Structure 1
Amino acid sequence: MALIQVTEASLRPHVPEPVFAQALSLADQGRVTALSVNGARLAAKADGHAVAVRITPGGIEATCACEEPAPCHHAVATALAWVRTGEKRPLPDLYAVLCTRNADWLARRLTQLAENDPALADRLLAEAEETTAADALADLRAELEEVMADLLAEAEEHNDDWHIDEWYPDTTALNELLDELDDLIEETPDAAREVIDRAIDLIEQAMDTERVYGGELLDILSRVQSMHLDACLTGSPDPERLAEQLIGTALASQWCTFERSLPDYAPALGDQGLIRCRELLERGGGREHSDYSLRTLWESLARAEGGTDAVVDLLAQRASSSHDIAHIAQILIAGDRFDDALTWIDKGLRDYRPDHRLLSLALDCQLRTGRAEMALETRWQLFALSPGLPAYQHLIRQAGPEAATWSARAIAHLRSIQNLAAPLTEVLLLEGNVADAWEIVEARKLNLGHDLRMQVVNARAQSHPQDAIPIYRELAESSVSRGSKPGYQEAIRYLITARTLAERAGGQDDFAAYITRLRAAHPGKKVFQQELDRVDLP
C-alpha cells in the first residue's frame, strides 16, 4: 500500500501560486473549522464552505461548495490546516484500495463497523446527509442560473414593437426551485445562503429591465429576502461580510432590498457587524445624507442598536421641518407611544406653521387615548386649515350633540373668508339652507362652477320653480348660439325642463310667448326649428 508524506512544501507545487497564497491566508487566520480526518480523506469548513479533500500521490483531489476550479483555495487551506495539526504519520492510500470494492460491499462494511460504535454511526449519517445537501445545492444553483437566464431572454424577446412594456414573466419554475431551496436552509444554512444571495442578484437584474409587469417578481424578491434572513439566523455568517452585503445591496438596489432589515439581522450581525454597518454608512457610499435609501438605513441601524428611542434620537438631531416632526410622531405612534407622539406634535405645531399632517396625527392620538374634547378642537383646526365639505362633515360628526353649535361656527367662518363661495354653498345645501345658497347663485360674480350652481338651481326649483326658469332659458340660449345639432339638442333639454317648471308655476302663457320669440330670433336655423317641432314646443 502506498504511503504519502505531506508537508506545506509538498503541497505547493500542485496548485497555482495565487491559490496557494489565498489558502495560506485562510489557514493563518484560522478560518478552517470542523476539521476531520479519515485516512487520506479530510473534511472541513473553509471560510464557511463545506470542503472534502483527498491527498493522493499526484496531488489534491477535492470537492467544494464554491464555484472555483478544483483544487480551490478552500481545499488547499483545509490540507494546510491538517498539516499544521502536527500529524506526522504517513497516510495510507486507503481510497485507492477502497475504490476497488463495489458500493454494496462498502455500505455493508461501514454498517457493520458502525453497529457497535454509535459515534461513528452518527458521523457517517451526518456526512452522508451533508454530501447529499451539498450536491442538491449545487444542482439548485445551476438550475437557478438556467431559470433566470430564460427569464432574462424572455424579457429581451418582449423588447420589440409588439411587446414594449408588456412582459408578464412566468415564475412557476422559479417558485418551485425556491421551495426546494427553502427546505435546505435548516440543514445547510450557510451554503443555502450563498445560493440565496445569487437569487437576489439575478431577480433584481430581471426587474431592472424595466419591462416587468405584474407584481410576481417583486413578491418573489420579498420571499427570497425572508429566506436570506432565515439562513443567516440559522447559520453562522461572518458578521462583517454580512454587514457589507446588507449595506452594499441596499444602497445599490432600486427595489429597497434590505433597507429596513438591520433590526431583524441584529442577532446574526452582533456588535461586530453593527459596528461595520455604521462604518459603511458614515462613509456614505458616495451619496448625500438626504438620499432616501441612506436615511432609511440610518434609521434601520439605529433601531437595531437601540430600538425606537435610538431612532427618535437620530431623527431629532436632523429635524428641521414639520415633515420631520411628523415622521418622528409616526414612529412613536407605531409603538403605541401616543403621549410621546403628542409631545412631539405639539412641538411641531409651535415651531412651524399649522400642518395638516401633524394635526391629523394629533387627532389619531387623541381619539385612541379618549381625549374627546381635544380631538374636537383638533377637528376644528383641520377645518379651519382646509375649509370644505369633507372637513365640515368630519367636524359635525365628531361634535355629536354639539353639532348645531359647531355648524354655526363653521358657516360663520366660511362667510368671513373671501373666495370660499363654493364650500359655503356646499355646506348650506347639506344643511338644507337653500335660500342662502340661492343668494350666492344670484350674486353672479361668485364663481361656483356649473355643477354646483345647477345643484342650487334644482334645489330652489323644488319650492320656487319660477326662480329657476330664467336660468334654464339662459342655458338654452347659450346652447343654441353654438350653431350645431348637439347644441340644439342640449338646448331642447333645457327648454323641456323650463316648460315643466312653467307649468308648475302657472306660467304656461309666458313660456309659450318666450318660445315664439326664440323661434323668431333664429329663423335660419332649420335644424333647431325641427327640434322644437319634434318636442311640441310651439
Structure 2
Amino acid sequence: MNPTIVSAFAKLAWEDLKDWAGDRVVRRGKSYTSRVEDLCLTTDGALLAWVQGGDRYATLVRCTAAGKLSSTCTCPYGSSCKHAVAAVLRFLDCIQLQRLPPPAEADDERFDELANRCDPDEEEDEDLAAAIPPRRKPGDDAIRKHLLELPKNELVDLLMEGRDVIPELRQRLADQAELKEGNVPKMVAAIRKEIHRVTRDPGWQNPWKREGYTPDYSHLTQRLSNLLAIGQADAVVELGTELLKQGMNQAACSNDEGETGREVADALKVVYRALARSSLAPGQQILWDIDAHRLDPGGILDEISGPLAQDNQAAAVWSPVADQLAARLEDFPARKPDSPEVYTSAKFDRERLMNWLLLALEKAGRKSEIIPVLERETKQTDCYLALVRRLIQARRRQDARAWALKGIEATAGNLPGIATELQGELRNLAEKEKNLPLVAAYRAREFFVSPGLESFKSLQAAATQVKVWDVVRGMALRFLETGRRPDRANPAGKRKGKTQESAPDWPLPPTGLPEVETDRRRNAFPDASTLIDIAIHEKRPADVLYWFRLRVGQNGLALTYQGDKVAEAVADAHPDDAIAIWKEMIAAETATTNQAGYQSAGRHLRKIKQVAVHIGKETEWQAYLESLCLLNKRRPRMLDVLTALAGRRTPII
C-alpha cells in the first residue's frame, strides 16, 4: 500500500467529509460503519468494500494526495453516498488499529458490479475506471467453433436438451416448425394471443429499491419477424393494428422511465417494415401511419421511419388522404358552446386531427384550403395563432390583424398564453412595417399586464428607439407605485371588449387591443418586488433599500426570497445595511433548526465576513461569530458550520 495514500486518508477532517458528501449523508454514514464487509485495497490505492443497506452494495472510494474524495457505488445514489462515507470511516478505524485491509483480488466480483453500474451515456470517471481491471469477454468464437465440429445427431440432442430447460428456445423451435408447415392462421392466432398476454400488465420501476417490471416483447417481436419472413406482411400489419392500441395504452399506464415504450417500439418496427411490403396502397399506408401517431401522444414512434417520414409521395397520393381526414374532421363531435372546460382530451384529439389534415393539404398542393379550415376550427380548437401566422405568410396582414384581435378577445380570459402570443404577432407585424411607436405601445401594454424586470427592459429598448424613454420610464415607475395605467384616459375603467382611449400625456399611440377582464394575480400596489428588481438593474442602492423595507412590511417572506440579492446589490454603497439584512436572514434560518437552514446561514455568514473584512470591521465580525457560537452551543450541526467558518478543522483520527 502506498504510504502517501494512507497519509491522505489519515489527514481527512470531518469538514472534508461534509464538504464532499454533505452533513446529513455523513451522519448517516457514521451509523453504517458496522455494515462494511470485506474491505480491501485496490492496486492503485482505492478502497473496495461491500456495504449492507437496503441491499448489499459494492462501493469504491478514492482519495487523492490533496485530500480530494471521489466514489462510485451500486446504490441508487451512485456516488458521495452514506455507503462510501462508511467505507472511509471503517478504513480510518483500520489505520488507527494499524491493521490495513488486504489487497483486492484481480477477479473480485465487485469490479463487475461497479462496471455494470456505469451508465454508458455518461462520461466515465477515468480515476474510478482505472481501479476496475479489464475483464475477458466470453469465448463466443470458441463456442461457435465447437458447435460447428459436432456431428449432426449430437447437435440435435443438444438442442432438444436445451428446449427442455429454456422456454424461449422451445417456443422458437416450435415457431420454426409451424413456419415450415405453412400453418399461417394458427401462427396468427397464437401471436394475437401473445399480444393480449404481453400488453396485459403495465411496467413499473422503483429505482430506490432496484425493483421493477418491464414487459418482455422480445418473443413477440421475433414471432412477428418470422411471420414477415414468409411473406405475410398483411397479417403482420393487421396484428400491428391491435398491438398499437393495446401497447400504447400499456405504455401510457406504465410507471417507469420509458422502458415499456421502448419494448413496444421495438415490436412496432417489424410492423412498419411489413407496412411498406403490404398490399395497402401508398395513401392507405399514410393513413395507417397517421392513425398510429394519433394513438401515440408520448412520442414512442418518433424513432421509427414510416410513410410520414418519407417525402417521396406525389400530390396525387396525398389528395385522397386529405379528403378522408377532412371527412373525419367534419364528423368529429363539436364542442358545446357553453362548455366551461377550455382544454379537454376531445379538443386535443380534434386539434391533432386538424393538424394532420393541414399537413395532407400542404403535401397535396391544396394550400388554398388551409386558411378556410383554420377559420372554421377557431371555435372548436382556438387555433387563432396558427390562423394568424398563415394569414401573415399569405401577406393578408389586415385579415391577420382582425383575427388576432378576435382571438385576443376570445382567449385572454381562459387561455392567456394564446392571447399573449397573438399580441406578439401583432407586434411583429408592426416591426416589419417599421412602425416603431406602435411596437413600443405593444411593449408598454405587455409591461402593464405583466409587470416585471424583463418586460420593463423590453419596454426600455422599444421606447428608446422612438426617443420617449425618459417620459415612459417615469410613467411606468408611477404605475408600479400606484397601479394607475398611464396609457388609459380612464385608468380605473374596465370595459370588456372595448378599446380604451389613450391619456392626453401618454406619448405612444393606442394599440387598438380590446380590454378584457383577466384574473390579475398582481393587484397589490405599490409593486415593491418589481420596483426592487428595477432599482437593482439601474444600480440605485438607496431605492433598493427603500422598496425592500416596504416590501418586508407588506410580506415577511420577502426577507427570504429577496433579502440575499438586495444585500448583495447594496453591499458596496451601504455595507452596514447589507450586513444587517444578512444577520436577519441568519436569525431566521437558524430558527428553522434544520440542516438546510444551517447551510443557508453559513452562506450568508461567508458574505458578511467578506464585506466586514473589506470595510475594516474584521474585529466586529469575529465578535459576531463568537456570539453565534454561544447562542447555538446546543445546536451541534450549526456549530459545525460556525467551526468551519472560523477556519478550524476537526481531525477524524
TM-score (norm 2): 0.43
Equivalent in 387, 390, 407 of residue 451 of structure 2? 387
User: Which secondary structure does the structure 2 equivalent of 1:213 belong to?
Assistant: helix
2: distance between equivalents of 1:219 and 1:469? 61
Cα deviations across residues 171-212 of structure 1 (Å, max 9, x unaligned)?
99579959979xx9xxxxxx9667534433333332322346
Deviation at 1:438, TM superposition (A): 1.8
Give 5+ residue unaligned stretches, structure 2.
1-178, 338-343, 484-524, 648-653
Deviation at 1:465, TM superposition (A): 1.2
Equivalent in 218, 226, 248 of residue 207 of structure 1? 248
Equivalent in 524, 530, 537 of residue 423 of structure 1? 530
Equivalent in 200, 203, 214 of residue 166 of structure 1? 214
Q: CA contact under 8 A between 1:330 and 1:361: conserved in structure 2?
A: no
Please tell me the residue identity of whatever aligns with 2:553: K
2: distance between equivalents of 1:265 and 1:280? 22
User: Which secondary structure does the structure 1 equivalent of 2:260 belong to?
Assistant: coil
Pairing 1:1-40 to 2, within 5 Å after superposition: none
Q: CA contact under 8 A between 2:531 and 2:547: conserved in structure 1?
A: no
Equivalent in 538, 542, 549 of residue 442 of structure 1? 549
Higher relative contact order (CA 8 A, sep 6+): 2
- Tell me the residue number matched to 2:407: 348
RMSD over aligned Cα, in angstroms? Answer: 5.9
Structure whose residues are more often helix by fraction:
1
Equivalent in 550, 553, 571 of residue 461 of structure 1? 571
User: Which secondary structure does the structure 1 equivalent of 2:529 belong to?
Assistant: helix
1: distance between equivalents of 2:314 and 2:465? 52
1: distance between equivalents of 2:442 and 2:270? 42
Q: CA contact under 8 A between 1:193 and 1:228: conserved in structure 2?
A: yes
Please tell me the residue identity of whatever aligns with 1:213: T
Please tell me the residue identity of whatever aligns with 2:419: L
- Bigger Rg, which one: 1
Pairing 1:88-99 to 2, within 5 Å after superposition: none
Equivalent in 572, 581, 585 of residue 475 of structure 1? 585
Change beyond 3 A, Cα 1:422–1:500: same
Alignment of 1:325 with 2:372, yes or no, is no
2: distance between equivalents of 1:217 and 1:192? 19
Q: CA contact under 8 A between 1:465 and 1:501: conserved in structure 2?
A: yes
Cα deviations across residues 476-523 of structure 1 (Å, max 9, x unaligned)?
344554567886776566456445534444556666776777677x49
Q: How many residues align?
A: 385
Give 5+ residue unaligned stretches, structure 1.
1-134, 185-190
Pairing 1:137-536 to 2, within 5 Å after superposition: 153-154=197-198, 164=212, 166-167=214-215, 169=217, 177=225, 195-210=236-251, 211=254, 213-215=260-262, 217=264, 234=281, 253=295, 267=316, 291-292=346-347, 293-294=349-350, 296-297=352-353, 307=366, 310-317=369-376, 319-320=378-379, 323-330=382-389, 332=391, 340-349=399-408, 353=412, 355-364=416-425, 367=428, 370-372=432-434, 373=436, 374-396=438-460, 401=465, 405=470, 410-417=476-483, 418=525, 420-443=527-550, 444-447=552-555, 448=558, 450-481=560-591, 494-495=604-605, 497-507=607-617, 522=631, 525=634
Change beyond 3 A, Cα 1:157–1:455: closer
2: distance between equivalents of 1:449 and 1:178? 68
Deviation at 1:224, TM superposition (A): 6.1
1: distance between equivalents of 2:399 and 2:226? 43
Q: CA contact under 8 A between 2:233 and 2:274: conserved in structure 1?
A: no
Deviation at 1:445, TM superposition (A): 1.2
Cα deviations across residues 387-432 of structure 1 (Å, max 9, x unaligned)?
2233344445566756955655544443343163223322322232
Deviation at 1:380, TM superposition (A): 3.2
1: distance between equivalents of 2:315 and 2:239? 22
User: Which secondary structure does the structure 2 equivalent of 1:209 belong to?
Assistant: helix
User: Which secondary structure does the structure 2 equivalent of 1:474 belong to?
Assistant: helix
Change beyond 3 A, Cα 1:234–1:415: same
1: distance between equivalents of 2:421 and 2:580? 45
Deviation at 1:345, TM superposition (A): 0.6
2: distance between equivalents of 1:197 and 1:433? 71
298-307 vs 458-467, which deviates more? 298-307
Q: CA contact under 8 A between 2:203 and 2:213: conserved in structure 1?
A: yes
1: distance between equivalents of 2:389 and 2:192? 39
User: Which secondary structure does the structure 2 equivalent of 1:387 belong to?
Assistant: coil
User: Which secondary structure does the structure 2 equivalent of 1:462 belong to?
Assistant: coil
Q: CA contact under 8 A between 2:351 and 2:381: conserved in structure 1?
A: no
Deviation at 1:460, TM superposition (A): 0.8
Change beyond 3 A, Cα 1:166–1:470: same
Change beyond 3 A, Cα 1:219–1:445: farther
Instruction: Give % identity.
Output: 17
Q: CA contact under 8 A between 1:193 and 1:232: conserved in structure 2?
A: yes
Please tell me the residue identity of whatever aligns with 2:542: A
2: distance between equivalents of 1:506 and 1:377? 50
Q: CA contact under 8 A between 1:489 and 1:531: conserved in structure 2?
A: yes
